[in-house]
Amino acid sequence: MSWVPSTCPVFSRSDEGGEYLVLRGMPTIMIGHREAGERPLNGIVDPDAVAAACLLRRRLLSGTPKIASEPDILAAVLLHHFTSGKVAAPWITAARLAAIDRLIDRHMGERLEVARLAAELELSVGFLVRAFRQSLGVTPHRYLMERRLARARQLLDARCPIADTATECGFADQAHLTRCMKRSVGVTPAFYGRMAK
């Protein structure tokens, strides 16, 4: 299960195929937790959430006119995980994550590796890796790559040439951007650029 704030773009793919249920516009007040709009929640498999999502899917496909309980169940599951302490780490707060984002953005076009990121934050690499895994469910490298890819999508949306996009986002070259984007999003930058037009 993944909770993604409404301002974050979502691209996903699976080698095995499958379906994705995306609920847009679920207000954070429905979840009842102040950080719901500030950080993602992922890396959780919750049987109640899966059952509610499957039932919601069946109701949507059957054309049921009134759907009341399933979104409430999903909201309750999200609230449970936001407040249970299973996800939040003591070190990465919303303010610290925003500072990390600003640091990454300042050095977006440079070779910014995890060791340098840790040094800039005056932390050990091991501590930074543990904090990221505990808070966000990903490594700092994966988070950095997703920030680069998100910026690349913004530039491609603005019709920036692919080679210039690769350089500005810190990829070694256009081929590197293409490999990373295909692996993460499932489409090449050229295809994405055509979709954005």
pLDDT for 88-101, tens place per residue?
445 787 788 888 99
pLDDT for 152-197, tens place per residue?
999 999 999 999 999 999 999 999 999 999 988 889 999 988 887 6
How confident is the model at residue 86, as a pLDDT? Answer: 46
Residue 179's contacts (CB-CB under 8 Å, 6 or more residues apart) are: none
How confident is the model at residue 127, as a pLDDT? Answer: 86
Q: Are the C-beta atoms of residues 172 and 178 closer than 8 Å to each other?
A: no
How many beta carbons lie within 10 A of that of residue 140, not counting itself? 23
pTM: 0.56
Least Cα distance to 191 among 174, 178, 172, 173 occurs for 178
pLDDT for 112-142, tens place per residue?
888 888 888 888 888 888 888 888 878 899 8
Return the bridge partners of 41, or none. Answer: 3
Is it the case that residue 105 has pLDDT exceeding 50? yes
pLDDT for 11-35, tens place per residue?
666 677 666 666 655 555 545 555 5
Compute CA 44 distance to the chain's CA centroid, rounded to the nearest angstrom.
Answer: 14
What are φ and ψ of residue 3, in 5° steps?
Answer: -105, 125
pLDDT for 41-72, tens place per residue?
555 666 766 777 777 777 777 877 666 665 66
Q: Are the C-beta atoms of residues 151 and 115 closer than 8 Å to each other?
A: no
Separation between Cα atoms, residue 152 and residue 166, nearest integer Å: 7
What are φ and ψ of residue 139, in 5° steps?
Answer: -80, 160
Is it the case that residue 147 has pLDDT exceeding 70? yes
Indicate the pLDDT class of residue 87, thresholds 50, 70 and 90: very low
Domains of the chain from N-terminus onward: 1-88 (no CATH), 94-196 (1.10.10.60)
Distance (Å) of CA 30 to CA 43, 46, 48, 68, 195:
21, 19, 17, 13, 33
- Region of 91 (left: φ > 0; alpha: ψ -120 to 50; beta: rest) is alpha
Residue type, 72: D
What are φ and ψ of residue 41, in 5° steps?
Answer: -130, 115
